[in-house]
Amino acid sequence: MARHGGGRGWYGKVVGAALGVTVLAVGASVWTAQAGVEGGGTPHASASATPGGDVQPVAKTIVHASDAGARGVNITIDDGPDPAWTPQVLDVLREYEVKATFCMTGIQAQTHPDLVKDVVAAGHRLCDHSVSHDTGMDKKPEAYQKKEILDAERMITKASGGVRPMYYRAPGGAFTPYSRELAASRGMRPLGWNVDTKDFERPGTDAIVATVERELPNGPTLLFHDAGGDRSQTVEALRRVLPSLKAEGYAFGFPVR
């Protein structure tokens, strides 16, 4: 699983501000369709998401498999939400009746809470992608990793209106044993990818589509982006990839938890 996204890049302009933000923990006993969380508390095992229920820990291994089975494909969308591109991605997903997992940064979620709510309302899942998308966070102290992961969790949950992220994807794949353990203890399964479409580099729609066709045998989880610059190639690639995969007999699902 190679690193992606070109480092800290565009996030560098807002990281400093974000690190100075005091994020309020989500209030206790928030009931959501995806999971329960008690704000600021330590995680405890529970059978499932129930009104007032605690966070249920999940496996700490990095997941790639799809809950749609052997012919399943997971569409994952990173770095947003973005007011220009996330609505267009949502439109394409809606057109082809595909659900996806949106790996959001805390900064973007906090800035665009209405878009986070739109993602949830459309039936997609949320994923914690850290506060500031620091691809070098695996080299930083555990206290820094903890702040990046847990602050993003709270920011995304608050922006969504109480729906917690179900996964954690390290920026650039910069997982550590500590970050995986921490995320899993908060009910967020570490999420990898099998196919890096390279859409972040804007290689052209044809190149993005060709990468999916060539690398899909590597595994079911596809990586796209809805922020970080002009994502028109991503939107058009999805418009071609989704019906093509359906025609080939693939089903769209979510990463297993």
Tell me the catalytic residues: 78, 225
C-alpha 58/C-alpha 140 separation (Å) is: 24
CB contact at 8 A, 198 and 233: no
Preceding omega of 171 cis (within 30 degrees of 0): no
C-alpha 257/C-alpha 241 separation (Å) is: 25
Cα-only R_g, the chain: 17
C-alpha 177/C-alpha 204 separation (Å) is: 36
